């Protein structure tokens, strides 16, 4: 459903219909960790909100790492299995002020560390187009619920491509705005220099409305921007005449699926017919081949520092021990999965004083070189474009988070560039292969979200996929 389709519905009816649909689909999708218990209180509070508020009465699903007062927030990790926040995240405040009703919290890869949504404490999330395939992650639960038409707006976070890749796998729009465009106050972090709040919709118009609602300065998040927030939805313009678009050849050359390449090439032809100036660029191949290792070092080092407070002492689950140190060791061993513990070991190793220069600081220098490479291109073009993924959503046994083949390193990880740079990036559905959705990824200059929406609208008009949803039988 799109936001415009809510206008003629009774508010209470629409909220409970969304809630019941989410519950009915839960056995098949396994996309929700907890349902809101205060629906009636939220509906009562809605009486104080103007009826012309942009999200008036719209049911919204939050990723499980968004703090919500009084509602379980586990980040899909056992160590937070009893954590109930005492405050709302900034985006929750903004959503409610805009009239939204929070109906549920969605599953994610544990603490956001993964790209499959197979590692959640509550179990794997299934793709609504083929329940035997993965949703992608780490924001897979929210992506699936958007694709399955539970809500017109679902919230995710994006540290590597955790909104944009699930969007491609599930045939929805996944938006990651500029770093600092949306406050992260109240978001359980993964890697502070890479984390972005993002979201899913099924139309560009809704994506524009959502950013207008969510963006803005928040003094509780010192990385949030003071820049004025435009009314993106009123400025939408799909005229492509003179728009300069750069195809990232490194990505397209790394993709081996002929059907994905053919779909991409057809879309490019359509954009050219609308007046876009499309040219090919090649980034430094050596830099692109180290995107994943560089990300892995920086993200895990920052995660190790950010999650040092999950120790079984201050909050979260606790395992008994004969000393404080033993309680902490037992709690972290029982509370984290093997994969998370492995990441913390790597992060700690990178932060050892004797290793910082040869690992962490070197990774930061490589990151800077990658960002400079992207900036050079975007100084000459309005956007870059590439296939979002090199394949359709895989089956669980075929999915990986970190694979070191040349094809995988570039075709499946190029969207990390949007996190390294902080530049805005969006994934837009562009067709189907073997009955599964695929998407394209766009990136623009800092705070040029309007450019992404405008060109995205033209793509949406060409594909005819506005409002596309998956029909899942309950």
Query: Would 19 be classed as within a structural domain?
Result: yes
Query: Would 15 be classed as within a structural domain?
Result: yes
In sequence order, the β-bridge partners of residue 153 are: 60
Query: Would 127 be classed as within a structural domain?
Result: yes
A 10 A CB-CB count for 236 gives 15
Q: Is the pTM of this model over 0.75?
A: yes
The catalytically annotated residue of 77, 122, 138, 331 is 138
Which domain, by its residues, includes 59?
Answer: 3-242+449-463
Query: Would 455 be classed as within a structural domain?
Result: yes
The catalytically annotated residue of 63, 94, 105, 176 is 63
Query: Would 412 be classed as within a structural domain?
Result: no
pLDDT of residue 7: 73
| DSSP-derived secondary structure for 1-12 | --GGGGTTS-HH
The total number of residues written for the chain in this structure: 474
Q: Where are the alpha helices (DSSP H) in 313-381?
A: 324-335, 338-351, 353-355, 361-378
Query: Would 238 be classed as within a structural domain?
Result: yes
CATH code, domain with 46:
3.90.1300.10
| DSSP-derived secondary structure for 13-36 | HHHHHHHHHHHHHHHHH--EEEE-
- 138 belongs to the catalytic site: yes
- 323 belongs to the catalytic site: no
Contact 359, 350 (CB under 8 A): yes
The catalytically annotated residue of 162, 225, 391, 399 is 162
Residues 407 and 413: their CA atoms lie apart, in Å, by 10
- 375 belongs to the catalytic site: no
The H or E element spanning position 211 is: helix 204-214
Residues 163 and 176: their CA atoms lie apart, in Å, by 7
Q: How many domains does the chain have?
A: 1
Residues 329 and 315: their CA atoms lie apart, in Å, by 14
Contact 388, 415 (CB under 8 A): yes
pLDDT of residue 233: 98
pLDDT of residue 4: 83
Contact 410, 291 (CB under 8 A): yes
Query: Would 219 be classed as within a structural domain?
Result: yes
Q: How high is the mean pLDDT in each 10-residue block of the chain (474 residues)?
A: 81 96 98 97 97 96 98 97 96 98 98 95 97 98 98 98 98 98 98 98 98 98 98 98 98 96 98 98 96 95 95 88 93 94 94 92 98 98 98 90 64 96 98 98 98 98 98 88
Query: Would 223 be classed as within a structural domain?
Result: yes
């Amino acid at each position: 459903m799109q936001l415009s389709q809510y206008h003629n519905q009774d508010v209470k009816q629409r909220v409970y219909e969304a809630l019941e649909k989410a519950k009915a689909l839960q056995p098949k999708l396994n996309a929700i960790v907890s349902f809101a218990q205060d629906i009636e209180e939220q509906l009562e509070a809605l009486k104080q909100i103007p009826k012309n508020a942009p999200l008036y009465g719209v049911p919204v699903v939050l990723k499980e790492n968004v703090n919500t007062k009084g509602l379980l927030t586990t980040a899909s990790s056992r160590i937070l299995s009893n954590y109930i926040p005492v405050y709302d995240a900034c985006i929750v405040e903004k959503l409610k002020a805009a009239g939204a009703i929070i109906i549920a919290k969605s599953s994610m890869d544990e603490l956001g560390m993964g790209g499959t949504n197979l590692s959640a404490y509550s179990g794997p999330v299934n793709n609504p187009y083929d329940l035997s395939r993965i949703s992608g992650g780490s924001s897979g639960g929210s992506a699936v619920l958007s694709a399955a038409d539970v809500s017109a707006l679902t919230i995710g976070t994006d540290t590597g491509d955790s909104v944009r890749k699930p969007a491609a796998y599930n045939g929805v729009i996944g938006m990651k705005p500029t770093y600092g465009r949306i406050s992260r106050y109240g978001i359980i972090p993964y890697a502070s220099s890479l984390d972005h709040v993002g979201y899913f919709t099924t139309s560009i118009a809704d994506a524009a409305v959502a950013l207008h609602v969510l963006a803005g300065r928040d003094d509780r998040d010192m990385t949030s921007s003071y820049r004025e927030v435009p009314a993106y939805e009123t400025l939408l313009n799909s005229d492509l005449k003179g728009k300069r678009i750069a195809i990232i050849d490194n990505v397209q050359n790394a993709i081996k699926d002929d059907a994905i390449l053919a779909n991409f090439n057809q879309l490019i032809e359509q954009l050219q017919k609308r007046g876009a100036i499309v040219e090919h660029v090649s980034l430094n191949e050596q830099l692109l081949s180290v995107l994943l290792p560089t990300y892995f070092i920086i993200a895990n080092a920052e995660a190790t520092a950010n999650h040092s407070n999950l120790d079984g002492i201050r909050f979260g689950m606790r395992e008994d021990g004969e000393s404080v140190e033993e309680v902490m060791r037992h709690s972290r061993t029982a509370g984290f999965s093997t994969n998370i513990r492995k990441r913390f070991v790597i992060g700690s190793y990178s932060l050892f004083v004797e290793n910082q220069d040869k690992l962490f600081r070197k990774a930061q220098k490589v990151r800077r070189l990658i960002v400079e490479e992207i900036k050079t291109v975007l100084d000459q073009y309005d956007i870059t474009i590439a296939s979002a993924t090199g394949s359709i959503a895989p089956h669980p046994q075929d999915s990986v988070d970190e694979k070191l083949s040349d094809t995988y390193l570039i075709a499946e990880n190029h969207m990390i560039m949007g996190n390294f740079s902080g530049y805005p990036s969006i994934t837009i559905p562009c067709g189907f292969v073997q009955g599964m959705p695929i998407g394209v990824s766009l990136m623009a200059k800092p705070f040029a979200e309007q450019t992404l929406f405008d060109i995205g609208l033209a793509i949406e008009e060409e594909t005819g996929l506005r409002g596309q949803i998956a029909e899942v039988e309950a």
